[in-house]
Amino acid sequence: MQLSYPLPIPDSLSNHLIKLVHHSLIIEKDFELTQVVEMVFYTNDNGDFGIPVLDSINLNPNLTTEQKARQLEVFRTRTRTVGTRGDYVDAKTQKVVQRGEDGELPEGAIPEKLIWLNVLAIDVPGEKLSDKVRSLLLSSMRKMAEDSKI
């Protein structure tokens, strides 16, 4: 079974869309979290996922072998690792914040891991633990996209 974020993410360098596919979640001994996702490129079908770009390239009879090889490299599936270590968020908005020129964090900034550690099970959709885990993984992928960590 594959878990993927259902909303397309526009690729900033092409007209293609990116689908995030969960690969792994690491919970470290200090409870910092790291999620690994695969970024799979898709053709853009009016804002929806079309077909995988790699298939589109391989099926294109107008490309030379060399052109296909170059494009296959550019749009190969990539792995992205995103974690909470060192990241701070505004406690109210949960948006990532940066240190100021003075090196200080803005008022109300908390370590990002605290947002995830304080989620109540009752607030997470699903009856079974596995449903709740899937829901949290999807929430994490949504936050990656919203925070431009992809």
Q: What is the pLDDT of residue 148?
A: 84
The number of domains in the chain is 1
Decide if 118 is inside a domain: no
Residue 104 lies in a domain: no
pTM: 0.86
How many other CB atoms are there within 10 angstroms of residue 26's CB atom?
11
pLDDT confidence of residue 63: 96
Regions in the chain scoring below 70 on pLDDT: none
Residue 111 is assigned to a structural domain of this protein: no
Question: Residue 75 falls within a domain, yes or no?
Answer: yes
Domain contains 90: no
For residue 51, being part of any structural domain is answered with yes
Residue 41 inside a domain? The answer is: yes
pLDDT of residue 149: 83
Nearest-angstrom CA–CA distance, 65 and 136? 42
The verdict on residue 16 lying in a domain is yes
